[in-house]
Structure 1
Amino acid sequence: MTKRLEGKTAIITGAASGMGAATARRYIEEGARVLVADIGDEAGAKHAAELGENARFCHLDVSEQDDWQAAVAACTEAFGAPNVLVNAAGVLHFAMIEHSTLEDYRRLVDINQIGTLLGMRSVIAPMRASGGGSIVNFSSIEGLGALQGAVAYASTKFAIRGMTKVAALELGVDGIRVNSVHPGMVETPMIGAVTGGAKLDFTPVANRLALRRIGKPEEIANLVVFLGSEESSYSTGAEFVADGGATATHVFGANVG
């Protein structure tokens, strides 16, 4: 039986942990060759080793243009030119607008927004030369609706949503599809980084969702498998939401209790 990503070569950013790591694992399971790209060298190299011979690790600071050029070169040398890019790397920061520092705001723009732009730009030429490909950009439900205390995060996630659509319009003629994924609340190390490692009780959040639970990284990874595969061959410029029903309602219709 043919695997869903057989013959695909993917660069996955933020692939040392969380949703990026889960996506890398699912891509390997579905027959892809994967460049595990992350700023965390130890965790990234360990994860790539665990994934086996069809995975390689590459250090990548997504906000650095030279790092992107090196990552594409490393992928091409190991497996061939990439025909899938998953821009999963991202950081979260909470602060009310009046307490948001310019430094923190720019940090999120550099990683979340500029990192996504540089990633897309770096794979256009190799994808075009090989006849097309798929780019999957991680936005968020905070790229669809506002959240108090998340001005920097929401701004970058709305930006990713917009640049995804522009890229889809520009690159469709080259057979390159570009879509955004919008996860809701998913328990990942990114949340722990914001809370200082403190364990949170997600029950109050879960009780407000249609499914009454928060998501798992693997559930988002399954959606990204679909978008990287030929199963989504007529999907581009679209928003794919996996949020347990968070965006299915408005404030007066939210589930409580």
Structure 2
Amino acid sequence: MMSGLLGGKVAIVTGAAGGIGLAIAHLFHEHGGSIVLADVDEPGVRRAAEAVGPRAIGVGCDVTEEDSVQYVVEEAVRWSGRLDVFVNNAGVTRDASLRKMTVADFDTVMAVHLRGTWLGVRAASAVMRESGSGSIINMSSLSGKSGNPGQTNYSAAKAGIVGMTKAAAKELAHKGVRVNAIQPGLIRTPMTEAMAAEVFQAREADIPMKRAGEPAEVAGAALFLASSLSSYMTGAVLEVGGGRLM
């Protein structure tokens, strides 16, 4: 048995080629977990897995495709014989005003966040309910709590993930499977750093802690939800936003 909060556990993290997903994979590995990093960027996620460590593999996955998500779950079980944690982290943005947002951009964000999360919850829980335990962690956003101009698609999808989390938690609790969500605020990732500097600084100024968060700080919340420290928590939504919107 490996030592650490996740010693002997096996986790899948989607969207793990970089950003928050990669930070989660690193922290889970540091705490004894064996990690399947999944991402639509297959070469990138394989390189990321090599950097994470010896108990990590990278697998290509399009979270909007049912067969692709199912394949990742089956690959994890083939590789390790079990599945204990599934983190639905994969995400995209297609920001635009209502007047300028295309139907395609709306549908893309909905497909990745909502359908992707639902497919992950369904595939992971099918394995976990048979073993009588497991932790599923869905990545929402404070944008889903308050809404952001130019993000009608993203804000709606992230709010939907909260409702999905609570519904799934009620369905699966009696099988020993916990489902929780994290709502990050402004986190310093390539996605947010692509914002105009003045917009980023204005949002940072609105945060009581007066700084953006780091991916490792979101990973800490994910580690808590993945471990036995949160064994009596399901349907919860943890905000990791430096006090923004409290």
Q: What SS does the aligned partner of 1:202 have?
A: helix
Q: Specify every segment of 5 or more residues in structure 1 that has no aligned partner in the other structure, as ranges.
A: 249-257
Look up the match of 1:233. 231
Task: Give the 5 Å matches for 1:41-60.
Answer: 41-60=42-61
Q: What SS does the aligned partner of 1:182 have?
A: strand
Look up the match of 2:213. 215
Q: CA deviation at 1:186?
A: 0.5
Q: CA deviation at 1:219?
A: 0.3
**Aligned-partner residue type, residue 221 of structure 1:** A
What TM-score, normalized to structure 2? 0.96
Distance 1:48 1:199 in 2: 31
What TM-score, normalized to structure 1? 0.92
Q: What SS does the aligned partner of 2:172 have?
A: helix
Q: CA deviation at 1:200?
A: 6.6
Deviations 1:147-190 (A, max 9, x none): 11110000100110100000000000000000010000001122
The number of aligned residues is 245
Q: CA deviation at 1:199?
A: 6.3
Q: CA deviation at 1:138?
A: 0.1
**Aligned-partner residue type, residue 29 of structure 1:** E
Deviations 1:212-249 (A, max 9, x none): 1000000000100000000000111011001011112x
Deviations 1:19-40 (A, max 9, x none): 0000000000000110000011
Q: CA deviation at 1:205?
A: 2.1
Asked if the contact 1:108/1:153 (under 8 Å) is kept, the reply is: yes
**Aligned-partner residue type, residue 173 of structure 2:** G
**Aligned-partner residue type, residue 113 of structure 1:** L
Look up the match of 2:119. 118
Task: Give the 5 Å matches for 1:97-176.
Answer: 97-176=98-177
Look up the match of 1:15. 16
Q: Specify every segment of 5 or more residues in structure 2 that has no aligned partner in the other structure, as ranges.
A: none
**Aligned-partner residue type, residue 234 of structure 1:** Y
Single out whichever of 44-53 and 218-227 deviates more from structure 2: 44-53
Asked if the contact 1:183/1:220 (under 8 Å) is kept, the reply is: yes
Distance 2:198 2:146 in 1: 23
Single out whichever of 75-84 and 212-221 deviates more from structure 2: 75-84
Distance 2:30 2:116 in 1: 27
The question of 1:247 aligning with 2:245 is answered yes
Deviations 1:59-113 (A, max 9, x none): 0000000101110111111112211000010011211112221100000011011
Q: What SS does the aligned partner of 2:245 have?
A: helix
Q: CA deviation at 1:129?
A: 1.4
Distance 1:114 1:200 in 2: 33
The two structures, once aligned, show a CA RMSD in angstroms of 1.5
Asked if the contact 1:92/1:191 (under 8 Å) is kept, the reply is: no
Q: CA deviation at 1:42?
A: 1.9
